[in-house]
Structure 1
């Protein structure tokens, strides 16, 4: 018995010693043995989809074609605050995404392999104490990035198209909010380069109200529900913009009349049942035409049961699949920027809202690098169900 035990111990020591020698050789470095330090989906710095990260506002030498930019502002919200953590929530939701595995069957490409330099430019350090200051900070930050020279020779839109007032190609930015107020300073920055722009606005709400009760100062009139009205007063948007997914409660038809005066037509959430996705895509494309267009997507356009992490949830919204399909159908329009806003992680469950928002940001990047809607020449035959 003792002999058998001794043999077993000798064998165990031999195996352990072999393993220690094999895996613990002090002469080897990580780089020589395992190569490049590739982060796992759950490890590494928190950059969108593990992209290259730079403090672009601080380092003016950083070049890019498309920037992902966080704008953590939420003191313009009318109900539940918390969207200042939206950029964090979207980046966290993107951890399973990465540039080396970004091909999708839906788009038929990898947006990071189309010749554009796409990086995460970090967050705008906006003030949480002074909204007037914060709005100016956002405008200056966005204008600063728009002024950079593009890194690639790939045209932003169509060959030969001159879209900016200065005749140059400019970088494009996908912003991660933040409450929807952030779009006002963004439109102010874009106006300097492009003049009035058309807006495709995915949202449950109109955001063209004149002000909330109790607003008595100029700054208090600027909120996440009034910024489009303010933008119209300043001449920042053209008269061929459009809402998609509207289902909020209104004071009455006077809200619709004012909305039309601001320059919007609307598609309601019910229209997807009555007319279908192709009709919605066609309506949006016809409305904005070839004008420079900005796409703004409030995460509450998606039904609250599928994206609960938001400040003003509304029942009866679209599914994430429907929204993603509509976005794909808009490829080829003259997009000069886009955003996903109103993600508030404190009200989320199992990160479903953050994950959905991150996937939509991926779609927006695909949208910005695509010259036309994706085609599927090898699409399998359809079967009768």
Structure 2
């Protein structure tokens, strides 16, 4: 009897809800009220709002096929291909939270002379790829299909430079990882999109070109080939990488065995040049930049994929800023594991800053004008333009002052 009474109560509540729904109608907000609401409430603090990257409008692009963009930020929460400590599946969430201090109205990049969020490019946070943690083969396919879909969308805005370069007409992808193996499905997708091997600029302490037998020569399967230390080996054997223009930088790795065979044994993955972590002591950050630029070049028809890590944050960001003219079509920021970060979350903050610098360079590369040099210092031509603007501004100020008097 008590059960029937409970059921009748539930049905009565449901009926009330349905009844109320019939009476409710969507009201059109008058334009003047909408404007007033926007003036009052359409703003955020860096510490408020939903945790999208840099407060960008979040969209689940994979289920919104009509959503287009010029640059997509996409999360790849995958970490079951690591050899030691998992946890990077929480990296995208941590990087997004750390990026909260970046806001469209307060993100002018002084070194580049541009605010990437208020320039020509539409930048969208496309959410996360729903990657399974139970089957690495399926996860690999999910990531490949997602990257291929997102990288094949139409762009929204034509870059001011116009139709220059192989990247024209394709959106650029910035991946928040995830362990480092996410680069393999990303490279597979980019190879299909651009129909040619991709130049890889790999900043890391480790080579990540290990032959998979490095981990075990006896216990082998198709999926043991896919891990965060062997993905470049596999990518090279699949012909995805342009070895003649690719580079490792920041190396301080240990090798297998009792000799330098990992460096010297012939193989398709050994075409990368190697810049070691210690080399920065002799070369300095800009010397490292020069070596990389000489290797990769500025060929507008050669797409470049950036996978950063390696040196200290200060050294690396300085080098990264010097590479702003590279023809970047994709990048990843990986191996951010919040469980091993410190209380200040400095790893996540560094990753968010690296993403900001990469996005800045992608946007700046599409601008067909001289935007100036480091921290607001311009070249001679740019400085003359600024001086003319300042003179005009001072003249306007004097006019206003006289009018006020």
Tell me the residue number matched to 2:303. Answer: 292
State yes or no: 1:49 paired with 2:54.
yes
Matches of residues 227-376 of structure 1 in structure 2 within 5 Å? 227-239=231-243, 240-251=245-256, 252-258=259-265, 261-262=268-269, 263-289=271-297, 290=299, 291-298=302-309, 301=310, 318-349=311-342, 350-371=344-365, 375-376=373-374
Query: What 5-or-longer segments of structure 1 have no aligned partner?
Result: 1-27, 302-317, 381-385
Q: Distance in 1 between matches of 2:321 and 2:241?
A: 23
Which of 85, 100, 104 does residue 109 from structure 2 map onto? 104
Deviations 1:55-106, CA, capped at 9 Å, x for gaps: 0000011110000000000000000000000000100111111111101222
1:201 paired to 2:175: no
User: Deviation string for 1:235-269 (max 9, x for gaps)?
Assistant: 00012210111101112311112487412111111
1:25-64 CA-partner distances (Å, limit 9, x unpaired):
xxx9995596133222222111001111100000011110
Distance between the aligned counterparts of 1:51 and 1:259, measured in 2? 46
Q: How big is each residue's C-alpha offset from its partner over 1:318-370, in whole Å with a ceiling of 9 and x where there is no partner?
A: 22111111111111111111110000000001211111100110001011112
* 1:145-164 mapped onto 2 (5 Å cutoff): 145-154=150-159, 159-163=162-166
Give TM-score, length-normalised by structure 2: 0.77
1:118 corresponds to = 123
Instruction: Report the equivalent of 1:132.
Output: 137
In the alignment, the residues of structure 2 paired with residue 261 and residue 268 of structure 1 have an alpha-carbon distance, to the nearest angstrom, of 20
After superposition, the Cα gap between the structure-2 partners of 1:29 and 1:222, relative to the gap in structure 1 and judged at 3 Å, is: closer
Aligned CA-pair RMSD = 2.2
Q: Confirm or deny that 1:86 pairs with 2:91.
A: yes
1:34–1:267 Cα change, 3 Å:
same
What is the number of residues matched between the two proteins? 330
Cα offset, 1:183, TM superposition = 0.4
Is contact 1:115-1:152 (8 Å) kept? yes
Distance of 1:344 and 1:334 partners within structure 2: 29
Counterpart residue number, 1:15: none
Partners of 1:207 and 1:373 lie apart in 2 by: 36
Indicate the residue corresponding to 1:220 in structure 2: 224
**1:57 match: secondary structure:** helix
User: Does the CA-based 8 Å contact 2:111-2:376 persist in structure 1?
Assistant: no
Q: Residues 245 and 260 of structure 1: is their aligned pair in 2 closer, same or farther, counting only changes over 3 Å? A: farther
* 1:267 alignment partner, SS class: strand
Q: Deviations over 1:197-246 (max 9, x none)?
A: 11000101000001112541011121000000000000000122101111
**Residue 196 (structure 2) pairs with residue 189 (structure 1):** no
Structure with more of its chain in helix, by fraction: 2
1:59 matched to 2:64: yes
